[in-house]
Structure 1
Amino acid sequence: MIAALFPGQGSQEIGMGRALYQGSKAAREVLDRAEAALPGLLRLMWEGPEEELKLTANQQPALLAVGYAAFAAYLEAGGSLPQAAAGHSLGEWTAHVAAGTLSLEDGLRLVRKRGEYMQEAVPVGAGAMAAVLKLPTQVLQELVAGIPGVEIANYNSPEQTVISGTAEGVAQAIEVLKAQRARVVPLPVSAPFHSSLMAPAQERLRADLSLVELHPPRFAVYSNVLARPESRPEAIRELLLEQITHPVRWVEILQHLQGEGVGVYLEFGSGRVLTGLVGRTLQGVEARALTSPQEIADGLAALA
């Protein structure tokens, strides 16, 4: 069984999607539609400046567009529909576009607003995030449980968990964790994503999402909130909102996919972050990043 994976913020880079545009008619059609929906997006993806591409409101639609373009190129090249899909944070939206839950144009406009609302929810400098490495999740949870303003944001792999919250709370947590000889890496992000501090963004996006029609996905799409698939459109609508303030349960998602018999994990879009997380979480499976027509061709040949 095959699962399609779609990355979240941090996988963007200048030039993303250019090879897909040049080498795949299907990808080119997707990216042209993205440019029509959000004029200037392709120039930003291909020429930068990098600081502008890094802005949350730009990263999110860029990653969605390239992820879906890579998926379209894969299908055009003869790839079969996956049995399931999952996306890390923003990537869950890309998974739903690929599954037909919502249109590309609606998805792009919504994630741009999502990015704007998330950035505006907390003043710059008031929030922070940090990755905690090589510390068991349960130990981490116990250590930060009594620190005000700190929450678990991402369960990325058995040895990588991300905390999020107020700048003061995260700074205090870093000191506590370092005292336990944990390796902690502050993240260069502009807001405390996947924490309760994002509640204002959640409520602002609710009004926009309520105006968009959703459809049952054509394959199972795993929810970041539930770590299992949901197919009812109105339930998906609520989960996409809850996702903003809830942790990404990536480890559980991968474990559940493997439990359902998935042995091949294909990452569509820019970068290969999720391919790495699969390798650090699961054993006995195959993971490939498909970011260009050549990688797609090589991947299909290997799967044949």
Structure 2
Amino acid sequence: QPCLFSVDLAAARAVEGLGIRADLTAGFSLGEIAALAFSGALEDESAFRLVCKRAEFMQEAAERNPGAMGAALGIDAEKLSKVLARFENAQAVNFNCPGQIVFAAKESDIDEIAAAVQENGGKFRRLAVSGAFHSRFMEDASRKMLEYLKNVSVRPASVPVYANRTAEPYGETEQEMKSLIAEQICSAVQWQSTIERMIRDGASVFIETGEGKVLSGLIRKINKSVKVLHYSEVLANGGSL
């Protein structure tokens, strides 16, 4: 997590260094912390330490409450919800784009859920992860993060940061911001709703600042009319969009 955070933030700063000003920001999961640092809500060093603690708390929770994750493809949220309701502690955790939802569940239930997804016309892909992230399996980590944040300074963002949990911009009170940072760990990532809200709020060009181009692909599936670029393209073009 610390390495990914550092790459995300450095890439965003590199784009900014070309004179490109962000009007809105968002980050997927860990990327939300980078967005908060980029926006000035967190000091860089403070954000880095927070990310290290976040990784520690999540790993501890994963070892204490083992779980697994899988992607359900080509099945709508309502059908998947009915499938998951049959299993204790199974829940949708990443609403990535139309037809792509990630869920978390007990390891012992994954194969049966996969079969049920396929019976309902969807496809299943198991994710190679060490825990059931953004789910109730991570509640211990969320509580520890909220306690840790008591000694962390958080201030209103200079650029709106859209929260994974709510798909709405972060508020301005310190307590509200800290609650969102902590709750994000055990809450679903509402990525599709976040991008749709940002577009309604005026976003027409998205620049992905981080390793890989997964989010660029998701945004194109959410809305084909917006322009989506990877930061490496922007740097190669000298800041031309």
Q: TM-score interval w.r.t. the shorter chain?
A: over 0.9
**Structure 1 residues 145, 90: closer, same or farther in 2, change over 3 A?**
same
Q: Distance in 1 between matches of 2:34 and 2:48?
A: 9
CA 1:158–1:187: 2 relative to 1, 3 Å? same
Query: Which deviations, in whole Å up to 9, do the C-alpha atoms of 1:167-202 show, x marking residues without a partner?
Result: 123333112112223210010000000110101111
1:141 aligns with 2:84: no
Structure-1 residue corresponding to 2:237? 298
Residue of structure 1 in register with 2:90 after alignment: 150
**Pairing 1:79–2:29 present:** no
Partners of 2:67 and 2:131 within 8 A in 1: yes
Q: Distance in 1 between matches of 2:41 and 2:62?
A: 30
Q: Which residue of 1 aligns with 2:54?
A: 114
Deviation, structure 1 residue 125? 9.0
How many residue pairs get matched? Answer: 240
Q: Choose from 177, 193, 217 the match for 2:117.
A: 177
Give the CA deviation at 1:234.
2.0
Q: 1:257 aligns with which of 182, 198, 207?
A: 198
Equivalent residues in 2 for 1:137-286, closer than 5 Å: 137-232=77-172, 233-286=174-227
Cα distance in structure 1, aligned partners of 2:238 and 2:141 = 38
Structure 2 CA distance, aligned partners of 1:299 and 1:227? 32
Aligned AA (2:125): V
- Contact residue 75 and residue 117 of structure 2 kept, 8 A: no
CA contact (8 A) 1:150 1:173 kept: no
Give how far 1:112 is off.
1.1
Q: Percent identity?
A: 31
Superposed CA deviations along residues 106-133 of structure 1, whole A, max 9, x for unmatched, are 1111111111111111328931000111
Residue 261 of structure 1 aligns with an amino acid whose one-letter code is G
Distance in 2 between the 1:203 and 1:170 partners? 26
What is the SS of the residue equivalent to 1:243? helix
Change (3 A) 1:146 1:62: same
- The one-letter code sitting in structure 2 at the alignment partner of 1:282 is N
Unaligned runs of 5+ in 2: none
Aligned position for 1:38? none
Give the alignment's Cα RMSD to 1 decimal: 1.6
What secondary structure is seen at the aligned counterpart in 2 of 1:164? strand
Shift of 1:299: 6.9
Normalised TM-score (structure 1): 0.76
Distance in 2 separating the partners of 1:149 and 1:231: 30
Indicate the residue corresponding to 1:103 in structure 2. Answer: 43
In structure 2, distance between residues paired with 1:85 and 1:252: 14
1:290–1:299 CA contact under 8 A, matched in 2: no
Distance 1:267 1:235, change over 3 A: same
- Cα 1:299–1:273 shift into 2, 3 Å: farther
